[in-house]
Amino acid sequence: MELFELPNDIQNILVHTDVLRGMKFPVKNKDSFLDLHHKFLLNYVHGKSMFFPSFNYSCLKTGKYHVEADEVQVGVLNEYIRKKKEYNRDLMPVFNFVSNIKDNYINIENNDIIDPFGRNSTFNFLNESNSFLLHYGSNFNSSTIIHFIERLSGKLVYRYDKEFSIDIINNGILKTVKFNYHVRPLDFKLDYDWSKLESDLKSQNLLQEYKFGRSQILGVKIDHLVNYWLEKLEMDSLYFLDKITKMNVSKKLDELGTKFELKHFE
C-alpha cells in the first residue's frame, strides 16, 4: 500500500502521533529516533504548517497553566517538538497545541471565559483554514476534534459544562480565565463507537489509510470530517456513542426529561 499524498490546497496539518506505529526508523538513541520522525513529517507535509497536541490536564487540579514549562502529556514526539525554537505553544489551557505557524490564530485575554472547543479555539481555526487531520501512527480514537464537532452541532446532551478558574503564565505575564469544559458525567460510563466512526468514514471515501507492517497513517480533510459528522449528528444526536452507552444515555435522558447537567451528577 502506497503512502497517500496530502491534497495540494491544504494549508495546515493537525498531527496526532504514536511513533511506535509511525514509519520504521532505527533506534540509536531517543533524540535521534524522534528527530527522524520529525524530519519525515516535515518532508511529508512539504512546507505546510503543522499543529501537534501539547495537552496537559494538570491545570484542572492546580489551577495554573505554565505555557513554557508544562510538559506534554500526549506523546513523546510532541514533547520533543515542544522544545524546538521554531514551534510556539498557544495559551489555551489543557487542549493547547504547538505549531510552526506564525499567525496568532486564537486570542485569549485576562478575565475571558474560554471554551477549548468553541469559536475561539484551534479546532475552529483549523476547520476554517483548509486543514488536514493526520494520524501518524496513532489510532483514530485519539481524534480530539470530535469534541469540537459535538459543541458545534448544538446537540450535545450527554456531557455538561463545568467551569474552572485557571491562571495562564506566559513569559512572566499572568492572565486569569474561566475555562468552560464540557466534561464526561461523573460515575457514568461513556464510550464512543470508534470502530463504527472509522468504518463509516472509509465507506464514504473520506478517510485515507496507509499500512505497512506496524506502520499506520490515517488522514482526512478536516472540513469534510466536520461536515459529515454534523450531518450524522443532525439525524441522530447520539451517533458517536457505542450501543451500550447509547442505550444507557437514552434511558437517563428519559429519566431526567432534559439533557445532562452538572447538578445531575455532581
pLDDT digits (tens, 9 = 90+) for 46-79: 999 999 999 999 999 999 999 999 999 999 999 9
Q: What's residue 103's pLDDT?
A: 81
pTM of the model: 0.96
Which residues in the chain come in under a pLDDT of 70? none
DSSP the chain: -PPPPPPTT--EEEEEE-GGGSS----SSHHHHHHHHHHHHHHHHTT-EEEEE--B-THHHHSEEETTTPPPSS-HHHHHHHTSTT-EE-S-SBS-EEE---S--S---TT-EE-TTSSSSHHHHHHTTTEEEEEEBS-GGG-THHHHHHHHHT---SSEEEEEEEEEEETTEEEEEEEEEEEPPTT----B-HHHHHHHHHHTT--EEEEETTEEEEEEEHHHHHHHHHHHHHH-TTTTB-HHHHHHHHHHHHHHTS---HHHH-
pLDDT digits (tens, 9 = 90+) for 146-177: 999 999 999 999 999 999 999 999 999 999 99
